[in-house]
Amino acid sequence: MPGGSSPSRRSFGVLFAPVVLRLALAVTFIWAGLGKIVATMPIDEGQAAKLASMGVNVGQGSSAAPASAPASEPGPPPAPSSAPGPAHSPIAPTPEERAVRPDAAAAAADAREGQPQPASAAQPEPGDPAAASQRKVRRIWGLALRIHESASPGVDHGGTPRMKLWPEAIGSGNWPRYFAIAVVVAELGGGVLLALGLLTRLGALALAGVMLGAMWLDQIGPAMQAGTTVLWVLPAHDAWDVAAWRPILWQLSLLCAAVAVALLGAGAPSLDRALGWGGRGDDDDL
């Protein structure tokens, strides 16, 4: 028929278009799953306590702040340098200060207190947030913290309870840890299944579920919680702010690709087709 595509050309598209989507999804989700296992993130003492209550073994790790060295024995005072630095230079009182405050030494001491101290003298105090943030955990446990905080968001500045983004019953106890592990298993397992074309529809549905959860916890849920939405669910970003819209558009693209693979099947080549598990949709010659 003039102007129409041949059945063989349409069959080629149906069989090989899912392969392109499979490979893109496999690379993306295998990378994302490995990142949650390999990469680390800093946490504070409060977050470490929450993770410990979930059954996560939170250690100091190699990046923890080293223990303070014992104080050395006092020695003789150092000899004055010919060119002392500004942090150590004594500041002599002016004649006016001598007239107002006879105690010139006290005036000079007060002036020295306002000078910056050398960096070597600044030691982190126990419980200092900067020192506590040196404790690091795998990023998978950051996801567990996100799930816990979504179920227990606390109150806003006015004391009004915030909207819960996750059921409290499964956002407490060890459930956040279980869900974080499940997400990583779905990302890695689904990515590998799509790369091989094995149980493709099942793997694609698992990845679609991961993306639905990500869009809710990262974008839609927080926007609704803050009351800053457009069309009831979309974050209220500027219409042409590409950087602001990029995360949710990327998540939406991955969601649509996963749903397309779940509907189309693995295509060819794939283990599903080799084993005869592709279904009628994969073998339709149109």
pLDDT digit string, tens, across residues 1-21: 455 555 566 677 778 899 999
pLDDT in tens, 183-235: 999 999 999 999 999 999 999 999 999 999 999 999 999 999 988 898 888 99
* Separation CA 82–CA 115 (nearest Å): 19
pLDDT in tens, 152-188: 998 888 888 899 999 988 898 999 999 999 999 999 9
**Contact in structure between 58 and 124 (CB atoms under 8 Å):** no
* Separation CA 54–CA 141 (nearest Å): 10
For residue 117, is pLDDT > 70? no
Confidence at residue 10, expressed as pLDDT on a 0 to 100 scale: 60
Residue 22 to residues 26, 81, 92, 194: CA-CA distances in angstroms?
A: 6, 70, 75, 5
Confidence at residue 87, expressed as pLDDT on a 0 to 100 scale: 41
Confidence at residue 181, expressed as pLDDT on a 0 to 100 scale: 97
Average pLDDT over residues 262-272: 90
pLDDT in tens, 19-44: 999 999 999 999 999 999 999 999 99
The whole-chain average pLDDT of the chain stands at 78
Percent share of the chain, pLDDT over 90: 51
The three-class DSSP label of residue 249 is helix
Which helix H or strand E contains 187, and what residues bound it? helix 175-196
* Separation CA 21–CA 257 (nearest Å): 6
Strand ranges inside the chain, DSSP E: 40-42, 136-138, 229-230, 234-235
Q: Say what the pTM is.
A: 0.70
β-bridge pairing 136-138 and 40-42? antiparallel
Nearest to 182 by CA among 42, 36, 40: 36
